[in-house]
């Protein structure tokens, strides 16, 4: 009886996995604006941590920017997010994407210039996707790159060093460059403490952001400085409710994840026993 139950568990687990794959495929199809499916698949093959639904958000936000828009990305790695943003900005007249990365890996993962160099792979991908005329690579630390940066930003994507102090520093140094109405996107904000703290304190607890949302691990919003006390108060309240929703969703997701892990471990022991 117990064996039967376990077998049932493993079937549920397998079907769950299949559903996940199906959902992934469906999400790929959501990119209605990119008609070339092959192109879509080949961007998706670039190594990186960006999920399809997150890429969709980046693509749609960038595509909706106005003529002459300036987008900045902190942390490009091998260019997965760069290519998504770049492909969208190709459709915006005179748009530019400044992609900042020292290409020496992520210190929070213990990577260093001795072990990691993504510069060549990044440039290869820019050439492969015909983005060399639109993307301006800046091979510097994000906090150094800001010194010479003279433009006002329409979209800021923060996905560099994820350690709490580093994310806070990135935000402190780059926020002064934002235009009113600029989009700010924090990657890994629902999964890592560094980006979470900064996104929570500066977007979710703030009255200067509207259209605040969470997708995958991203938290993003549009800077909105206009309005009197009432409007700002209302925005703060709305964002606070969104914070409550996000925090409960994240906690729930963790419980579900633990449950999945439990069934994975059970299946493993069941398979071992069978052998
Ligand atoms: C998570 S990866 C970025 C992934 C990329 N956005 C993508 O979607 O494929 C983080 C990147 O940030 C870079 N990085 C880490 N600390 C940095 C810093 N202080 N300044 C600039 N880049 C940094 C690393 O070299 C690494 O390539």
Q: Are strands 70-74 and 153-158 parallel, antiparallel or unpaired?
A: parallel
The pLDDT of residue 150 = 94
Considering only CA atoms, which of 167, 175, 238 is closest in space to residue 207? 238
Domains of the chain: 2-274 (3.40.50.150)
Percent of the chain residues topping a pLDDT of 90: 68
Q: Which residues contact 268 (CB under 8 A, 6 or more apart)?
A: none
Which residue's CA is the nearest one to ligand 1's atom 8?
Answer: 81
Tell how far the Cα of 107 is from the centroid of ligand 1, in angstroms. 9
Range in 31-45, 96-110, 166-180 with the lowest mean pLDDT: 31-45
Q: Supply the pTM of this predicted model.
A: 0.84
For residue 84 and ligand 1, the question of a CB distance below 6 A is answered with: no
For residue 102 and ligand 1, the question of a CB distance below 6 A is answered with: yes
Q: How far apart are CA 261 and CA 92, in angstroms?
A: 44
Q: Pocket of ligand 1, candidates 76, 86, 155: which has the most ligand atoms within 8 Å of its Cβ, to mutate? A: 76
What average pLDDT is seen over the chain?
Answer: 87
Query: What DSSP string describes 59-91?
Result: HHHHHT--TT-EEEEE--TTSHHHHHHHHHHTT
Distance, C-alpha 29 to centroid of its chain: 19
Q: What angle do CA 251, 256, 258 make, to 5 degrees?
A: 95
* Span 55-113, pLDDT tens digits: 999 999 999 999 999 999 999 999 999 999 999 999 999 999 999 999 998 887 777 77
Tell how far the Cα of 271 is from the centroid of ligand 1, in angstroms. 39
Which residue's CA is the nearest one to ligand 1's atom 22?
Answer: 101
The pLDDT of residue 34 = 57
């Amino acid at each position: 009886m117990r064996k039967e139950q376990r077998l049932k568990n493993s079937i549920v687990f397998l079907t769950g996995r299949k559903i996940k794959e199906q959902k992934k495929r469906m999400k790929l199809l959501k990119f209605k604006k990119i008609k070339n499916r092959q192109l879509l698949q080949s961007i998706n093959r670039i190594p990186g941590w960006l999920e399809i639904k997150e890429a969709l958000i980046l693509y749609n936000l960038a595509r909706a920017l106005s003529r002459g828009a300036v987008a900045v990305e902190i942390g490009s790695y091998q260019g997965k997010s760069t290519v998504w943003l770049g492909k969208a900005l190709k459709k915006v007249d005179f748009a530019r994407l400044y992609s900042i990365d020292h290409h020496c890996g992520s210190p929070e993962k213990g990577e260093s210039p001795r072990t990691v160099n993504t510069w060549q792979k990044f440039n290869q991908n820019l050439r492969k996707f015909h983005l060399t005329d639109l993307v301006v690579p800046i091979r510097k630390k994000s906090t150094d790159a800001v010194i010479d940066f003279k433009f006002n930003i329409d979209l800021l994507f923060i996905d560099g060093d994820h350690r709490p102090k580093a994310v806070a520093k990135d935000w402190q140094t780059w926020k002064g460059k934002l235009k009113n109405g600029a989009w700010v996107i924090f990657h890994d904000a629902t999964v890592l403490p560094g980006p979470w703290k900064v996104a929570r304190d500066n977007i979710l607890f703030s009255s200067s952001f509207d259209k605040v949302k969470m997708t995958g691990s991203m938290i993003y919003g549009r800077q909105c400085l206009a309005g009197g006390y009432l409007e700002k108060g209302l925005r703060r309240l709305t964002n606070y409710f969104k914070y409550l929703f996000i925090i409960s969703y994240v906690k729930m997701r963790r419980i579900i994840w633990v449950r999945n892990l439990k069934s994975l471990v059970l299946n493993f022991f069941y398979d071992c026993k069978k052998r």
